[in-house]
């Protein structure tokens, strides 16, 4: 199953922001910033990655639901989609 274009753009933008966050975290570490500040930024980057993953799973769920409504076979097996969702939990 391919990611829909609108989801691809959204997830790509989110991942670019995370990339910026990671670069900022590296700079903070190199500059010797406080560990609490660093951990806070790591937590924010982690949550942003999780959200990006969830957007991909949601896109898959929407594609499967739309296919079912049209009477077509879903593009992904429900069990596989469930495993992807749970891998983010």
Q: Where are the domains of the chain?
A: 5-87
Handedness of CA 84, 85, 86, 89 (dihedral sign): positive
Dist CA 86 CA 89 (whole Å): 5
The confidence score (pLDDT) of residue 23 equals: 98
The confidence score (pLDDT) of residue 14 equals: 95
What tokens appear for 81 in the block? 């989609």
The DSSP output letter for 71 is T
The confidence score (pLDDT) of residue 89 equals: 79
The confidence score (pLDDT) of residue 56 equals: 94
pTM of the model: 0.83
Q: State which residues of the chain have pLDDT below 70.
A: none
The CATH code of the domain at 5-87 is 1.20.58.1000
Which residues, 6+ apart, have CB-to-CB distance to 60 below 8 Å? 1, 75, 76, 81, 84
């Amino acid at each position: 199953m391919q990611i829909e274009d609108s989801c691809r753009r959204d997830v790509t933008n989110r991942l670019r922001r995370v990339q910026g966050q990671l670069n900022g975290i590296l700079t903070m570490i190199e500059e010797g910033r406080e560990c609490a500040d660093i951990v806070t930024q790591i937590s924010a980057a982690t949550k942003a990655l999780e959200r990006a993953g969830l957007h991909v799973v949601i896109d898959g769920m929407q594609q499967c639901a739309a296919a079912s409504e049209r009477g077509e076979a879903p593009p992904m097996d429900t069990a596989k989609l469930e495993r992807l969702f749970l891998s983010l939990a």
